[in-house]
């Protein structure tokens, strides 16, 4: 394999290891934390429209590379998606 492929594979395996050892949180843990810390959450297990909307925007922004969440992604960066 070429050096670019090996670097990408190594980065991915490091990411998996950090997730498996608990160094990085799982997506489910991150979502629960996001909801618990949202300004509109009242601790009553109710996910209001505003919480759900903000969560979806955050997830979209992570997936599009606009928002980096170190506790979820570590040092892995998602390249921003552009329309160019």
- Each residue's pLDDT, cut to its tens digit, for the chain (84 residues) gives 789 999 989 999 999 999 999 999 999 999 999 999 999 999 999 999 999 999 999 999 999 999 999 999 999 988 887 776
Asked whether the beta carbons of 47 and 34 are under 8 A apart, the reply is: no
* Residues 54/38, Cβ–Cβ less than 8 Å: yes
| pLDDT for position 79 | 86
- Give SS3 for 11: helix
Stated pTM of the model: 0.84
Q: What does the block give as tokens for 28?
A: 């489910």
* Chain centroid offset of residue 21 CA: 17
């Amino acid at each position: 394999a070429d050096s670019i492929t090996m670097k990408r594979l190594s980065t991915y395996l490091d990411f998996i290891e950090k997730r498996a050892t608990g160094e990085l949180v799982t997506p489910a843990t991150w979502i629960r934390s996001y909801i618990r810390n949202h300004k509109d959450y009242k601790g009553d297990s109710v996910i209001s429209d505003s919480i759900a909307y903000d969560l979806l925007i955050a997830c979209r922004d992570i997936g599009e590379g606009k928002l980096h969440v170190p506790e979820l992604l570590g040092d892995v960066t998602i390249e921003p998606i552009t329309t160019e």
